[in-house]
Chains A and B, each alone.
Chain A
Amino acid sequence: MAPRHSGTDYGRLLDSLRGVTWPARHAALAGTAGTHRSRLRGLSAEFTEYRPYRQGDDPRRLDWKLLARTDRAYLRITSDRATLTTVIVVDASLSMAFPETTHAKWAQACRLAVGLAAVAHGSGDPVGVVVTAAPRPRRVEPRTRRGVLAEIARVLGAGDPAGGQALAPALAALRGTPRVAVLSDFLGDADETLRRARELIAGGTEVHAVHLVAREELEPRAPTLATDPESPEVRRPLIAETLPVYQRAFAEWRRLTGRTWRAGGAVFTEVVTDEPAARAVRRICGPAPSASGVSA
């Protein structure tokens, strides 16, 4: 039975994330005044430094008091703050509905999406969500208004993961978005998704890749005939002889996936389903982990 989430389910998560910020990794483009450091300098009240006046500078930015005291013309330089529009892309392919009974991977994805949205929204950033659901994606456009979190929670809980929806088209539609967080198990169109993410990164988008891994994928039960829900023809015996081989191959693939995303310029974080969502959100929003900082 698929779990359903509503806005009230996230109460404790939102409480524990109060005060958490998600600073931009680099200066944001100019825009609405917000909390993120902007590439634009000059008009805000936050003083940064003085600079000698050069011909062509706006005389209104001269520090007249300093000129009067010292008879030297200096400009008062201040840093601007801007908002960072954030879109959270949630993979809703069938592989996210795992384990079959609890859908823990999808539930964790929903919690992370709401948590990240709450953190971004708390900083005054417009936040939206794209759920790559069948038959067409469900989305909430980035907004700063008060009810956007509830709307995001409603969209996430509107349906269960199904089918083998691709992530890449959703990313392709987000060109120009300052910040994109992708929550996925990357078992679908991983290569195409990475290519689209690189395009976004090249366009100045800050991309966060959150790799969701179920505990049951790390420590599967044996013996079973493991069947890929998205490709039923893939049926492999998971027995005592094959379990260690599987675990080595899966670990190697996760390591390679993280390295590839980081090499592409994304911030990569691996989250296991049994990790508290608040802690995972703090890891995602915190300083970029080192290359070896993949948690299991």
Chain B
Amino acid sequence: MTFLAPLWLAAGAAAAAGLVLVHFFARRRPRPAPLPTARFVPDIAARAPSMASRPTDLLLLLVRLAAVVAIGLALARPARTPARRPIRRVVVLDRSRAVASASEATDSARAWVGTGDTLVGAGERSHVPTLSSGLIAAIRAASVMRDRADSLELVIVSPFVNASFDAATDSIRRLWPGRARLVQVRAATQAAPARITLAGAGDDPLRATVALLGGRAGAESRIVRALPAGGDSAFARGGGVLVAWPRDPGSVWPERTTDTVGAVMAGEAVVVAPFVRSATLPPSHAPTLPIAHWVDGVPAAIERAFASGCIRDVAIGVPAVGDLALRGSMRRLVDELTGPCGGRLSLAPADATVLAAMRHDGPLMPAHLAPPVPRRTAASAWLLALAALLLLADMALRPRSSRP
């Protein structure tokens, strides 16, 4: 048993001592005595402090002492002392699309996880596939484990490709003041969709853009210019990239007010044109990833994972009049919107210096350096409940004359 806030124990003891003292100095009604001239005594509350040789109201004193002690113990937050080991591990498992085989990576991670160690995930499939989120989760886990180990070892299971790092990864890594063990797994290979299928009318201006884009190597992408049908969903379920790009987005996802916006961006593609913004992308219960934004930051296209493929909703209206569909910027936009699920990843192996910084040769992190986190102990809640009951009992036991 240990106390997370032991100062409260001293405070509780002081309060208990004060309480006993108060019972010696109880204000009590003086002993009645006849005095014919009592009328000349000021009429104030008929109580006077008096010093007793023994504490008064012993039962009341005991109840109050128990309440004070219970409150002191509750605030001191008693906790069972966890089993302490010299070293515990925090294993960060990269579960992003950069990993070739999720099961293989999981097996590799589990090989490092022993009893009392912690496994945290990083780079969920539909999110940015970097290790930053996993490192933050590892630091949180270290805070929880700081009382259970002398040192903490960080194990990172990842393919360690360029996509595994972003601008914040290095800074976050420095928050773990100790070395890390890097366990490399196979990186995925990513190919661009080979063919773009456009299901739409013959006068669809987007047809010209797709035609100018030409063929690509990789999986197939399908653009539907209306709401997707059952076959389209099956296509996405099979690993395809389904792009739901209504010809008139305002009729499918109507916007309350229609306005114009000057540009739209997706990845490296920027299209500057007087777009009419007449649609708002529908909210989704599934995690979504914005893949295109209007110039004012409003998402213009989102992606959500669907089985092994993905579905993208695009709310960009392509004007039928003008040469916008023929511009190179428009072709790059279509290329981005029909790219691989999750965006194009840089799957090249990370630089050796980056890996060295990630490894950070040196001693393991002492557990006490992990930031402390407030811990809730069940005993505190029970003790507070007991104190509340005792205070209720105190009200019941209090002499009627002394009640307010």
Residues of A within 8 A of B (CB): 94-95, 98-100, 185, 187, 214, 216-217, 220-231, 234-242, 245-246, 249-250, 253
Chain A minimum-CB-distance residue to B28: A223
Q: Which residues of B contact A217 (CB under 8 A)?
A: 35-37
Q: What residues of chain B lie closer than 8 Å to A241, measured between beta carbons?
A: 44
A239: which of B33, B34, B36, B48 is its contact (CB, 8 Å)? Answer: B48
Extra pairs beyond A224-B32, A225-B33, A237-B41 (11, CB < 8 Å): A225-B29, A225-B46, A226-B34, A226-B41, A228-B36, A230-B36, A234-B39, A235-B32, A237-B30, A237-B45, A239-B30
Listed by A's residue number, 27 A-B pairs whose Cβ atoms lie within 8 Å are A94-B36, A100-B34, A187-B37, A217-B36, A220-B35, A223-B30, A224-B31, A225-B30, A225-B32, A225-B33, A225-B46, A226-B33, A226-B35, A227-B33, A228-B34, A228-B36, A235-B38, A236-B39, A236-B42, A237-B44, A237-B45, A237-B46, A237-B48, A238-B38, A239-B30, A246-B41, A249-B40
Contacts of B31 in A (CB 8 A): 223-225
Which residues from B are CB-within-8-Å of A223?
A: 30-31, 48, 50
In the complex where A234-B38, A237-B41, A249-B40 touch, is A227 in contact with B32 (Cβ < 8 A)?
A: yes
Contact at A185–B36, with CB atoms within 8 Å? yes
Residues on B with C-beta less than 8 A from A245 are: 41-42
Least CB distance, A226 to chain B, in whole angstroms? 4
B47: Cβ under 8 A from any A Cβ: yes
A residues within 8 A CB of B42? 236, 242, 245-246
Main secondary structure of the interface of B (DSSP, over half): loop
Chain B, 79-119, contact with A by CB distance < 8 Å: what is the 0/1 string? 00000000000000000000000000000000000000000
B268 within 8 Å of A by Cβ? Answer: no
The 8 A-B residue pairs with the shortest CB-CB distance in the complex, in nearest-first order? A236-B41, A95-B36, A224-B33, A226-B35, A226-B38, A239-B48, A249-B40, A223-B30
Contact A236 B43 (CB under 8 A): yes
Number of A-B contacts (CB under 8 A): 97
Q: Which of B34, B41, B46, B47 contacts A229 (CB 8 A)?
A: B34
Flag B12-40 by CB within 8 Å of A: 1 or 0 each: 00000000000000000111111111111
- Which residues of chain A come closer than 8 Å to B50, judged between CB atoms? 223
Point out the residues of chain B lying under 8 angstroms from A225, CB to CB: 29-33, 46
A278 to B31, CA, bound (A): 36
Interface core residue of B30, B38, B40, B47 (most chain A CB under 10 Å):
B38
Name the contact of A238 in the complex, choosing from B30, B36, B47 (C-beta under 8 A). Answer: B30
Q: Contact check, A221 vs B33: say whether CB atoms are below 8 A apart.
A: yes
Closest to B32 in A: A225
Chain B residues, Cβ within 8 Å of A216: 35
A interface footprint on B31-70 (CB within 8 Å = 1, 0 otherwise): 1111111111111111110100000000000000000000
Q: Which residue of B lies closest to A185 (CB)?
A: B36
> Interface readout for B183-194 with A: 1 if CB under 8 Å, 0 if not?
000000000000
Complex CA–CA separation, A246 to B36 (angstroms): 12
A222 to B42, CA, bound (A): 14
The answer to whether B36 touches A236, judged by C-beta atoms less than 8 angstroms apart, is no
**Are B33 and A236 in contact, with the CB atoms below 8 A?**
no
A95 to B35, CA, bound (A): 8
With A223-B48, A223-B50 as contacts: A238 and B41 at CB distance below 8 Å = yes
Contact indicator A250/B47 (Cβ below 8 Å): no
Q: Roughly how many angstroms separate A125 CA and B255 CA in the complex, as a whole number?
A: 125
Q: Which residue of A lies closest to B50 (CB)?
A: A223
Instruction: Tell me, in angstroms, the Cα distance from A108 to B140 when the chains sit together.
Output: 91
Alpha-carbon gap, A235 to B41, bound state (A): 9
Instruction: Provide the bound-state CA to CA distance between A226 and B42, in Å.
Output: 11
Query: What residues of B have a CB within 8 angstroms of the CB of A231 in the complex?
Result: 39
Contact check: which of A94, A227, A239 meets B38 at CB < 8 Å? A227
Report B240-252 CB contacts with A as 1/0, cut-off 8 Å. Answer: 0000000000000
How far is A98 from B38 in the complex, measured between Cα atoms in Å?
Answer: 12
Complex Cα gap A60–B277 (Å): 151
Contact B35 A238, beta carbon cutoff 8 Å: yes
Residues of A within 8 A of B32 (CB): 224-225, 227, 235
Q: Evaluate whether A246 and B40 lie within 8 angstroms (CB atoms) in the complex, with A227-B35, A235-B32 already known.
A: yes
Q: Which residues of B contact A98 (CB under 8 A)?
A: 34-36
Asked if A242 contacts B30 (CB within 8 A), the reply is no
Task: Collect the chain A residues with CB atoms within 8 Å of residue B29's CB.
Answer: 225, 237
Whole-angstrom CA separation of A214 from B38 in the bound complex: 13
Q: Give chain A residues whose Cβ lies under 8 Å from the Cβ of B41.
A: 226, 236-238, 242, 245-246
In whole angstroms, what is the CA distance A241 to B47 when docked?
Answer: 11
A221: chain B residues at CB < 8 Å are: 33
Give the docked Cα–Cα distance between A228 and B34 (Å): 6
User: Do A250 and B30 have beta carbons less than 8 Å apart?
Assistant: no
**Most A CB atoms within 10 A — which of B32, B35, B43, B50?**
B35
Q: Which residues of A contact B38 (CB under 8 A)?
A: 226-228, 234-236, 238
A227 to B32, CA, bound (A): 6
Known interface pairs A235-B46, A237-B45; A224-B30 also in contact (CB < 8 Å): yes
Q: Which of B30, B39, B44, B46 contacts A228 (CB 8 A)?
A: B39
From A96, which residue of chain B is reached at the shortest CB distance?
Answer: B36
A227: chain B residues within 8 A (beta carbon): 32-35, 38
Whether B44 and A187, one on each chain, are in contact in the complex, defined by CB atoms closer than 8 angstroms, is no
